[in-house]
Structure 1
Amino acid sequence: MENKHCPRCNTAFECKADDILNCQCNGIVFNDSQKEGIAMAFNDCLCRKCLLELQHEPVKPCGY
């Protein structure tokens, strides 16, 4: 377990990358374009709220 702050909204959360079945991000699925966009925009884990919001946002073309 690691205490982190979301780079998108600055909310504190617990990252459990070493126990992924109990991590707050478990079960959230992204397509390849979404994964690429998130990886390009953020350099660390995001909180569940932000992940769920990004899951439903349309993918923006590169350069925007």
Structure 2
Amino acid sequence: MPISNTSAALIAGRGIAGLVAATALTRCGRPVTVLEQAPHIRGVGTGLACHPGGPPR
């Protein structure tokens, strides 16, 4: 069965991959729902820093 352009996407996980997938699908015009097991964001976990032109010196 073909997928229509208005099919909603359900993404499990608010990690890097989940947020990148949600962003990409949203830019393609798809409605997206992101589910996360954790009740709130905490100050621990993995972080990602992107610097234009490479890391700071």
Pick the structure with greater CA Rg. Answer: 2
Verify same fold: TM over 0.5: no
More helix by share: 1
Length-normalised TM-score, structure 2: 0.24
